[in-house]
Amino acid sequence: MATRTRRSQRRTEALSRERIVEAAVELLDAAGEGGLTFRALTERLATGPGAIYWHVANKSELLDAATDAVVAAALAIEPAESPDAPRGKIRAVALGLFDAIDEHPWLATQLATQLSRSPWGSVTPRIFESIGRQVGAVGVPEGSQFTATSALVHYILGAAGQNAANGRVLGPDVDRGDFLDAVSKAWEELDPDDYPFTRSVADQMREHDDREQFLAGIDLVLAGITALHLPNGQASAPPAT
Amino acid sequence: MATRTRRSQRRTEALSRERIVEAAVELLDAAGEGGLTFRALTERLATGPGAIYWHVANKSELLDAATDAVVAAALAIEPAESPDAPRGKIRAVALGLFDAIDEHPWLATQLATQLSRSPWGSVTPRIFESIGRQVGAVGVPEGSQFTATSALVHYILGAAGQNAANGRVLGPDVDRGDFLDAVSKAWEELDPDDYPFTRSVADQMREHDDREQFLAGIDLVLAGITALHLPNGQASAPPAT
DNA sequence: ACCTGAACACCGTTCAAGT
DNA sequence: ACCTGAACACCGTTCAAGT
């Protein structure tokens, strides 16, 4: 039959900003940052570049819109029944972002650039708000809430960003175990004089689990907030996982 | 005199990988990510593209080399006389990276992409090692060192990344006070139903100092490490600044 | 109001040719 | 071994023209 990838299938719905953003996300997911081009976009949407530019100012705005859409979706996933009060909710929000970056690796870089470019954009307040509310609920006094929330958000973005493409480095065909093994081995072969520490934790790196590790970090920051910002060092031990 | 920017001043030293990387860093500093093109590079170095490709495989490798050079320089700045044992050294290393990103805003994005692309590259071990050694010195037991160090590194990269271009958003002519004012005002105008928390900390955001805030976060993570990973919750209060 | 598609300026990269 | 510079394929963006 030789049915090539459906060609010039006449567009049935009119073009719209949402449809364009949706297609952009699909392209980014499929081929990463480099996969989003106006050429690819016009083909997928069966139009010309002019049509897209009528709905969107430029590529940068399109990238921002795609980021915003994915983050909004990730934060919209409520844990339904609140699991165990504020600390649990903070973990849930953090994991939501972690998983979103895991599913959309391009998010990591995009988040970093966008956050540093315009902290008043819609993404920062969104994340900030979700975390901040729970920080207040934990009992952190008003004067420390900005500091505590910032620390959490920074940790989340830093950690999620790094973990992002870890598994995807060489495509989905690479086994996670093989990958960690390779990194671990590379670390073990570093110069003993220059890298004693990194060598010594090479095996811990081999055995670690990204999500577990990520959550452990969240608990670390939460413990710090408890120790430094709660009047009395009240119960802060994380629940057994 | 009309001495335009020195033209075709015949190259005196031979081209070298270091010279190319140096020029790349200059271009990145001057005009950001978009400022580094092979065209600009050939003009600055008074050569053709072929000459550059003889020393460097491609643009990606050049970007990696530039990142590595700047990070190495930042980590090489030793605090001379160790200020106050491990915790102080961790703060010093963190501030070194913070300042490097502040001076070279393009580092933030570059670091994020590079770390997620190849954690075995030279940059990760370098940072990891500097922090990790001190984590060991603080007294964290071996089994927890990987987790503790990861948390610190993630926080540092996340925070430094976000703070990166904050001041530079609209070039160096924008007053920092005006900038924070604008962001703060934008936050105050957010929807009261959707963003109660962000609105409530708008004034804290206006008055915060990037470096102070960054260090407060480091202390938060350190306090968490002390609380969670040191056998007894031994003295962890940060020194008065 | 919304879309078409040719055209423009610019980019990373290659390669036959020089020294 | 190291460098030159024309050429190629591709990209974001514009715009006169259509409906």
Question: What is this structure's pTM?
Answer: 0.86
What is the distance in angstroms measured between the alpha-carbon CA of A50 and the sugar C1' of D15? 9
- Length of chain A equals 241
B172: pLDDT confidence band, cut at 50, 70 and 90? low
A–B CB contacts, 8 A cutoff, strictly below: 218
Best residue of A90, A155, A193 to probe chain B, by most B CBs closer than 10 Å: A155
Per residue in B34-90, pLDDT (tens digit) is 999 999 999 999 999 999 999 999 999 999 999 999 999 999 877 665 656 889 999
Q: Is the CB of A182 less than 8 angstroms away from the CB of B146? A: no
Mean pLDDT of A81-98: 85
Among chain B residues, the shortest Cα distance to A161 is held by B112
Those residues with Cβ within 8 angstroms of residue B73's Cβ, 6 or more apart along the chain or in another chain: B100
Q: How far is A241 from chain B (nearest CA, A)?
A: 15
Residue B194 has pLDDT above 60, yes or no: yes
A10: pLDDT confidence band, cut at 50, 70 and 90? very low
Q: Is the CB of B158 less than 8 angstroms away from the CB of A161? A: yes
Residue A112 has pLDDT above 60, yes or no: yes
Residue A210's Cβ-side half-sphere holds a number of Cα atoms within 13 Å equal to 20
Q: Is the CB of A112 less than 8 angstroms away from the CB of B109? A: yes
**Cα end-to-end span (Å), chain A:** 53
What is the distance in angstroms measured between the alpha-carbon CA of A52 and the sugar C1' of D2? 46
Range from A91-105, A163-177, A212-226, B221-235 that averages highest in pLDDT:
A212-226
pLDDT at A174: 67
Q: Torsion angle, CA of A103/A107/A109/A115, rounded to 10 degrees?
A: -150
Distance separating alpha carbons of residues B93 and B241, to the nearest angstrom? 16
Distance separating alpha carbons of residues A36 and B122, to the nearest angstrom? 29
Residue nearest to nucleotide D16 (CA to C1'): A50
Those residues with Cβ within 8 angstroms of residue B91's Cβ, 6 or more apart along the chain or in another chain: B215, B218
Mean pLDDT of A208-234: 90
**Cα end-to-end span (Å), chain B:** 53
Q: What is the DSSP string of A12-33?
A: -SPP-HHHHHHHHHHHHHHH-G
Question: Alpha helices of chain B — where are they, by DSSP H?
Answer: 17-31, 38-45, 49-55, 59-76, 85-103, 106-117, 123-138, 142-164, 176-188, 196-200, 202-207, 210-229
Mean pLDDT of A120-125: 80
pLDDT at A56: 98
Q: Which residue has the tokens 């907030």?
A: A225
Q: Which residue has the tokens 């599913």?
A: A103
Percentage of chain A beyond pLDDT 90 is 59
The answer to which of A153-167, B45-59, B94-108 has the lowest mean pLDDT is A153-167
DSSP state of B84: S
pLDDT at A160: 79
pLDDT at B168: 52
Distance separating alpha carbons of residues A66 and A113, to the nearest angstrom? 13
Instruction: Report the sign of the C-alpha dihedral through residues B187, B193, B198, B199, in that order.
Output: positive
Mean pLDDT of A146-154: 95
The answer to which of A87-91, A139-143, A156-160, B20-24 has the lowest mean pLDDT is A156-160
Q: Is the CB of A201 less than 8 angstroms away from the CB of B146? A: yes
B183: pLDDT confidence band, cut at 50, 70 and 90? confident
Mean pLDDT of A80-98: 84
Higher pLDDT, B96 or A5: B96
Which residues on B lie below 8 Å from A217 (Cβ)? 147, 150-151, 154-155
pLDDT at A164: 63
The answer to which of A73-77, A148-152, B119-123 has the lowest mean pLDDT is B119-123
Mean pLDDT of A192-203: 95
Mean pLDDT of B105-129: 81
Q: Which residues in range 47-76 of chain A are in contact with strand C, contact meaning CB within 7 A of any of its atoms?
A: 47-51, 53-55
A82: pLDDT confidence band, cut at 50, 70 and 90? low
Structural domains for chain B: 2-56 (1.10.10.60), 80-232 (1.10.357.10)
Distances (CA, A) of B142 to A20, A237, A240, B138: 51, 21, 21, 11
B5: pLDDT confidence band, cut at 50, 70 and 90? very low
Among chain A residues, the shortest Cα distance to B114 is held by A162
Question: Alpha helices of A77-141 — where are they, by DSSP H?
Answer: 85-103, 106-117, 123-138
Closest nucleotide to A62, Cα to C1'? D12
Does the CB of A43 sit below 7 A from strand C?
A: no
A158: pLDDT confidence band, cut at 50, 70 and 90? confident
C-beta of residue A90 within 8 angstroms of C-beta of residue A218: yes
Bases of strand D lying below 7 A from some protein CB: 2-7, 10-17
Mean pLDDT of A84-112: 89
Higher pLDDT, A35 or A78: A35
Neighbours of B203 (CB within 10 A): 13
Residue A115 has pLDDT above 80, yes or no: no
Mean pLDDT of A81-103: 86
Give me B89's structure tokens.
Answer: 């050294």
Neighbours of B30 (CB within 10 A): 11
What is the distance in angstroms measured between the alpha-carbon CA of B58 and the sugar C1' of D1? 20
Point out the residue among B143, B216, B227 whose CB comes nearest to the CB of A147: B216
Mean pLDDT of chain A: 85
Distance separating alpha carbons of residues A68 and A47, to the nearest angstrom? 24
Distances (CA, A) of A236 to A224, B125, B146: 9, 32, 22
Amino acid identity at B117: R
Residue B6 has pLDDT above 50, yes or no: no
Among chain A residues, the shortest Cα distance to B235 is held by A227
Residue A229 has pLDDT above 70, yes or no: yes
Point out the residue among B120, B165, B216 whose CB comes nearest to the CB of A186: B120
Point out the residue among B129, B169, B204 whose CB comes nearest to the CB of A146: B204
Q: What is the CA radius of gyration of chain B?
A: 21
